[in-house]
Chain A
Amino acid sequence: MRAIATLAAVLSLGAAAHELGGPVMDFVPPPPGSYVLQAIQRAPAGRVVDAFGRTAPLAAHVTGRITLLSFVYTYCTDPTGCPLAYEAFVTLRERIARDKSLAGRVRLVSLSFDPTNDSPEAMRAYGGKFATATDVPWHFLTTRSVGDLSPILDGFSLDVEVELDEKGRETRVISYLLKVFLIDRRGVVREIYTTAFLLPDMMMNDIRTLALEEGARP
């Protein structure tokens, strides 16, 4: 029940974001395959922990498939922040699942900014039914420490603040800019979305463009 409540709460916040004037799409996106997504940078190396407590390199979660990666807090409440990204991911997940040409080729990843509070258990609860879905894998990840998280954030050029507790221990990082990364199966970042461009129609075309690049069936 808590997982459902979590999803409902997050999605309602995402919907609220659109009511507040979320991203607007007043154009017809160019068709998949009609453009090239630039190779912006390589996804950085790092060590993460999945929702079942298993440690693995970040590379295991961002290579081998087309990946959409978002950074989250399980308790994020800004409706135009992670709930908006979560809602976009839920929408995309459904569309990807329906697209046979993308079967087995795409995954979603949500990685927490808060190693202290967002334990593997918290991430599993946050992910709810999606954490165990097999049709379109959605990995809910955290890290063991800010020390493990920092090189990943630096690698993605994310400007964050490290928060300290009263004893000076690093607890979590605070971010000021929502970014979602589209990464190809080689682990190269090919598109970055901030709020103004978190448009599922456009993102689906980008995913399909990468799939076509790999030689998928149109």
Chain B
Amino acid sequence: MKIASYARCAAAFAVSAAFAMPALADETCNSPYMARLIKGQEDYLHVWTLGMKGVGDESDKLVTVDANPKSSTFGKVIHSLSVGGRGEAHHMGFTDDRKYLWAGRLDDSKIFVFDVGTNPAKPKLVKTITDLAKKTGYVGPHTFYAMPGRMLVQGLSNTKDHGGVTGLATYNNKGEFVAKHDMPTAEVGGVKGDGYGYDIAINPAKNALLTSSFTGWNNYMMDMGKLIQDQEAMKRFGNTMVLWDLKAMKPQKIFSVPGAPLEIRWSLNPGDNWAVTASALTSKLWVVRPDGKGEWQAKEVATIGDPSKIPLPVDISITADGKGLWVNTFMDGKTRYFDFTNPDAPKQTYEKVTGSQVNMISQSWDGKRVYITSSLLANWDKKGADDQQFLALYHWDGKELAEQWRIDFYKEKLGRAHHMKFTAKPQKSAAADAPAKLALRQ
């Protein structure tokens, strides 16, 4: 609990701009249930980083970078918090109050809870959750998605055979296990579920939860070169997306989306009713939306690069107005921009090589700043000189990406740079900005 100085003003709830109400700020990939959205300039970037043997302290860590151009340490690493060991650090997610970051490891399934709200310049590890596998039978906590008072965690694998059949776990904000929901393997809406999982995206106005599908521990922990030679292993990738009734937590429909659909993003433009994903192995963009009869459908809408060369689209970032989409392709190191003015027929309008290998991409609400990192998975990252590990800031003026700075994570002895999240300095008390009191009490 924080202490604030005295203010002679009416207090007010600084209520989050929830999804069903027009979103107002922050990264476009966050849960719609989050509060304290960042309006304007982010102050810090937190990078969940994989430890590497022979690099620095060799531990997985949360790296904090100063992201405010007015700061004397702009573009510099200002803090690093090692958690001990290497467990395949991967993705993170904020709690609904934006105070904590839950960060997961895909190998040992540990979940680290960092307080980034009290002093975002110096995060603190406040809790380590270690019971996911025991409570659920799931392995590989991938996506952390805030619900009111809870965290929805998408697994990638399971304890039985380390394949891709997995499920969703719910924890309360205290870090206590609440419930589990297996990904469907039966037929729903004419399509058989493969039981695989990857990302989560919720549209509260539609009571809709969308999930996608990747692969299990046997594959994501395997060396990439060995994996692509293993024909049987290459068959074990997800080929579906699932639309869930969010309230009931029941699958309503399964879509056939071949080739491992990964990140999912709902358009945040008020009135829009669609979500987009990219399929990694088939190199396609897919849009999920209701058809003219109100029936939800998944439709392939664009091709990314030359699929025969397997550019491997990975992370995507949708613009706040839903009119544009950044897509990173890992193998050719390209950052691509798609014009989504017509989501049924998006067109690539720009591309730039931003690294030898690129994965995550995060943009500011106004779209002017784009951050990119390099690592995909420890055993899938490239080798030798192509194994660049970095965080880079680009400016986007609508026509060209211009690099401002790049942090070499090898040079800084940090490790493999993966998932990013923005924070800002603690804002003034809401009371200081509140409107005048009504004469409710006299």
Task: Spell out A's residues near B (CB within 8 Å).
Answer: 2, 5-6, 9-10, 20-27, 29-30, 34-35, 38-41, 73-78, 80-82, 84, 113-114, 117, 122, 125-126, 150, 153-154, 156-166, 171-179, 181, 189, 192-197, 202
User: B5 to A163, Cβ gap below 8 A?
Assistant: yes
Range, interface on chain B: 35 or more
- The answer to whether B131 has its CB under 8 Å from any CB of chain A is no
Contact B1 A166, beta carbon cutoff 8 Å: no
Per-residue 0/1 for B166-188: is the Cβ within 8 Å of any A Cβ (1 yes, 0 no)?
A: 00001011101011000000000
- Min CB gap B351→A, angstroms: 36
Report Cα–Cα, A166/B22, bound state, in Å: 38
Q: Does B20 reach chain A (CB closer than 8 Å)?
A: yes
A25 lies within 8 A of B205 (CB): yes
Q: A6-B440, A160-B2, A161-B4 given; name 19 further pairs at CB < 8 Å.
A: A21-B21, A23-B20, A35-B245, A35-B249, A41-B174, A73-B12, A81-B13, A117-B441, A159-B117, A161-B429, A162-B3, A171-B6, A177-B36, A179-B149, A192-B150, A194-B18, A194-B148, A196-B204, A196-B205
Contact B206 A34 (CB under 8 A): no
The answer for the CA separation of A157 and B178 in the assembled complex, in Å, is 15
Q: Is the CB of B11 within 8 A of A172?
A: yes
Is the C-beta of B229 less than 8 angstroms from some C-beta in chain A? no
Convert B400-442 into 0s and 1s, putting 1 for each residue whose CB lies closer than 8 angstroms to a CB of A.
Answer: 0000000000000000000000000000011100111110111
Contact of B149 among A39, A157, A161 (CB under 8 A): A157
Alpha-carbon separation in the docked complex, A78 to B4 (Å): 20
B14 nearest CB neighbor, chain A only: A176
Which residues of chain B have a CB within 8 Å of any CB of chain A?
1-7, 10-16, 18-22, 32-33, 35-36, 96-97, 99, 117, 147-150, 170, 172-174, 176, 178-179, 204-208, 245, 247-250, 270, 429-431, 434-438, 440-442
Inter-subunit contact A35/B250 (CB<8 Å): yes
| Cα distance A185–B96 in the bound complex, in angstroms | 26
Q: For A113, give the chain B residue with the smallest CB separation.
A: B11
Contact B15–A153 (Cβ < 8 Å): no
Closest A residue by C-beta to B205: A24
A38 in contact with B429 given A77-B438, A177-B15 (CB within 8 Å): no
Among B13, B179, B441, the residue within 8 A (CB) of A125 is B441
A157 and B172 contact, CB distance less than 8 A: yes
B150: chain A residues at CB < 8 Å are: 40, 192
Contact residue among A5, A156, A174 (Cβ-Cβ distance under 8 Å from B431)? A174
In the complex, are the beta carbons of A161 and B13 less than 8 A apart?
A: no
Most chain A Cβ neighbours within 10 Å, of B13, B97, B270, B441: B13
Q: Which residues of A contact B5 (CB under 8 A)?
A: 163-164
B10 A76 Cβ-Cβ under 8 A? yes
Whether the Cβ atoms of B1 and A162 lie closer than 8 Å is: yes
Given contacts A159-B117, A194-B33, contact A2 B442 (CB under 8 A): yes
Query: How many Å from the CB of B275 to the closest CB on chain A?
Result: 14
In the complex, chain B residues whose CB is within 8 Å of the CB of A181: 149
Q: Complex: how many Å from CA A192 to CA B173?
A: 11
Using Cβ atoms and an 8 Å threshold, which residues of chain A touch B147?
A: 192
Residue B434 contacts which of A40, A78, A161, A195 (CB distance < 8 angstroms)?
A: A78
Can you name the residue of chain B whose Cβ is closest to the Cβ of A12? B438
B173 interface neighbour in A35, A77, A157, A176, Cβ under 8 Å: A157
A180 to B420, CA, bound (A): 31
- Measured in the bound complex, the distance between the Cα atoms of B1 and A24 in whole Å is 32
| Least distance between A132 CB and chain B CB atoms (Å) | 19
The reply to whether B440 and A114 contact each other, CB–CB distance below 8 Å, is no
Task: Give the 3 A-B residue pairs with the shortest CB-CB distance, closest first.
Answer: A81-B13, A196-B18, A35-B248
Given contacts A23-B18, A195-B15, A197-B148, contact A75 B96 (CB under 8 A): no
Known A-B contacts A22-B21, A75-B11; the reply to A40 vs B178 at CB < 8 A is yes
Partner of A27 from B32, B36, B117, B205 at Cβ < 8 Å: B205
Q: A29-B207, A154-B1, A161-B2 are in contact. Are A178 and B15 (CB under 8 A)?
A: yes
Q: Are B21 and A34 in contact (CB under 8 A)?
A: no
Question: Given that A27-B205, A162-B1 are known contacts, is A77 also in contact with B12, CB under 8 Å in the complex?
Answer: yes
The smallest C-beta distance from A73 to any residue of chain B, in angstroms, reads 5
Contact of A82 with B7 at beta-carbon distance under 8 Å, contacts A27-B207, A40-B149, A196-B20 already known: no
Contact B148 A73 (CB under 8 A): no
The interface residues of chain A lying within 8 Å CB-to-CB of B11 are 73, 75-76, 113-114, 163, 172, 174
Say whether B248 contacts A34, CB under 8 Å: yes
Complex interface: chain A residues within 8 A of B430 (CB): 174, 176
* Chain A residues, CB < 8 A from B434: 77-78
Give bound CA distance, A152 to B11, whole Å.
19
Q: Decide: A163 and B431 in contact? CB cutoff 8 A.
A: yes
Output the least CB separation between B437 and chain A (Å).
Answer: 5
Known: A21-B21, A23-B20. A163 touches B6 (CB 8 A): yes
Output the least CB separation between A83 and chain B (Å). 10
When distances are taken between beta carbons in the complex, the residues of chain B under 8 Å from A73 are 10-12
B13 touches A176 (CB 8 A): yes
A35, B14: Cα distance in complex, Å: 32
Beta-carbon nearest neighbor of B174 in chain A: A157
B-side contacts of A160, CB under 8 Å: 1-2
Chain B residues closer than 8 Å to A10, beta-carbon distance: 440
